[in-house]
A and B are shown apart, each in its own frame.
Chain A
Amino acid sequence: MTARPHVAEAAVSGVGVTLPPAGLAPGAAWFDHRSQLGPRGYKYLPEACQYLLAAARAAVAGSDGLLERCPEERRGAVVGTNSAVAELHSVIDRTTRTEGADFVSPMTAPFFSVNLVGARLSTEHLLKGFNLTVTSPRVAGVEALHLAAHEVAGGRADAVLAGATEAPDPYAADALPETGAALLVLRPRASAAPGTTLLRSCLLFLPPRALTTAAGRERAQRTVVSALDAVTAGLAGADGTDVRLVTDGSPVARVVSDAVRGRRGPDVPPGADVPRAGSLEAVALLADGVSSGRGRARLVVTAAREGNVAIAMTTTEPLPGPPRQTG
């Protein structure tokens, strides 16, 4: 278990989301790549890649020209996903079994590599500094934000597009498939104007086997509380923070949920017991916090049965200096 949490911090200069309308029936069409992206050139992209590009355009458009002002080699991308190409893998597998490998679509085959989804984002926005894709179960989206914030804070980039994209996972079983994308444009805090929304984040790993004993669960809760305190350090209006749990009913999630509600109060709504087959929800909640938070800090805590935990907060409150980098 992580004893001393590493907190990353960056300023948020743009937000873009591409999400289906609420209440849409499962499987119903909701996204038209031609009207959202262009008449030609997007047909063969996996749908998660189309969502990502649409979200990126909105995020960049709302970032007041930040990206254009940054040299191309000072721009980066970090994308989190669990199921961006799961459907494509299923199609390739089915085609290979039933018709033969010669009949796999040459236009879509390169996307068997999930990195190609984020690569297309870099191609479209000339993000030549670095491009990273992360796939940790359920936390990949916040992990992408965390890694991006770490890189801009470390001086490796002046602007990074980071977030999550997902397409329905055909192997989701009893989990809830996710679809859509949510992205933030991150920049170094020092380069942002006062009042700019700040993002703070922290990643933890709680080994599930360590939670089988009372002592292990207690230690894990202390670790989570320590990370929560580090992320929210200096937040004057902590009591008014909008706290959201994205959990899955697992032992890891229960420990995290107990720690969060123990620290932030019993009014924190419990997370859903139905796990999500993706990493989008937490990033979408953070993006919504930036877009509609009206100054209220939003704290999102994600926990997955595999042991991955991600904590992130957005706030417009002028926090004291960047948290000490201990990781």
Chain B
Amino acid sequence: MAQQSLALDLEDLRETIANILDIDTAEVTDDADFVEDLDMDSLLALEILVSLERRYQVKIGEEHMKEVRSLRSTHSLLANKLESA
């Protein structure tokens, strides 16, 4: 069932990422590396992709997985996807 897409908000995205990674929101700083600093593995990366696709109603694709490495890069990726949607 289609859901309404959300406007992109950095703090909302921070909370979403923290919730998926199961950590405190404060740990998701703008430039914290999801893999090196927050212990994201490949399954968690896929979980983030699927969650963001559902939440923002965009198709991201696994080829963009390497861009999901920090809050800043993820925000940038999403902004581009939403702009071109």
A contacts, CB < 8 Å to B: 40-41, 43-44, 98-99, 102-107
**B47 at interface, CB cutoff 8 A:** yes
CA of A106 to CA of B47 in the docked complex: distance in angstroms? 5
11 contacts between A and B (CB under 8 A): A43-B22, A44-B47, A98-B1, A99-B1, A99-B54, A103-B50, A103-B53, A104-B50, A106-B47, A107-B46, A107-B47
Count contacts on B: residues with CB < 8 A to the other chain: 10
Given A40-B22, A43-B22, A99-B54, do A107 and B43 touch, yes or no (CB 8 Å)?
Answer: yes
Q: List the B side residues contacting A102 at CB < 8 Å.
A: 50, 53
Q: Which residue of A lies closest to B42 (CB)?
A: A106
CA of A47 to CA of B22 in the docked complex: distance in angstroms? 16
Which of A40, A44, A98, A106 contacts B23 (CB under 8 A)? A40
Interface of chain A, main secondary structure: loop
Whole-angstrom distance between the Cβ of B37 and the nearest chain A Cβ: 14
**B35 at interface, CB cutoff 8 A:** no
Q: List the B side residues contacting A98 at CB < 8 Å.
A: 1
Q: List the B side residues contacting A106 at CB < 8 Å.
A: 43, 46-47, 50
CA of A102 to CA of B1 in the docked complex: distance in angstroms? 13
Q: List the B side residues contacting A41 at CB < 8 Å.
A: 22
CA of A59 to CA of B53 in the docked complex: distance in angstroms? 42
CA of A43 to CA of B43 in the docked complex: distance in angstroms? 13
Q: List the B side residues contacting A99 at CB < 8 Å.
A: 1, 54
Q: List the B side residues contacting A40 at CB < 8 Å.
A: 22-23
Q: Which residue of A lies closest to B48 (CB)?
A: A106
CA of A93 to CA of B15 in the docked complex: distance in angstroms? 28
CA of A99 to CA of B23 in the docked complex: distance in angstroms? 27
Q: List the B side residues contacting A43 at CB < 8 Å.
A: 22
Task: Name which of A99, A105, A106 has the most chain B CB atoms within 10 A of its CB.
Answer: A106
**B6 at interface, CB cutoff 8 A:** no
Contact with A along B5-44 (1 / 0, CB 8 A): 0000000000000000011000000000000000000011
Q: Which residue of A lies closest to B20 (CB)?
A: A107
CA of A177 to CA of B10 in the docked complex: distance in angstroms? 42
Contact in complex: B23, A103 (CB < 8 Å): no
CA of A44 to CA of B22 in the docked complex: distance in angstroms? 9
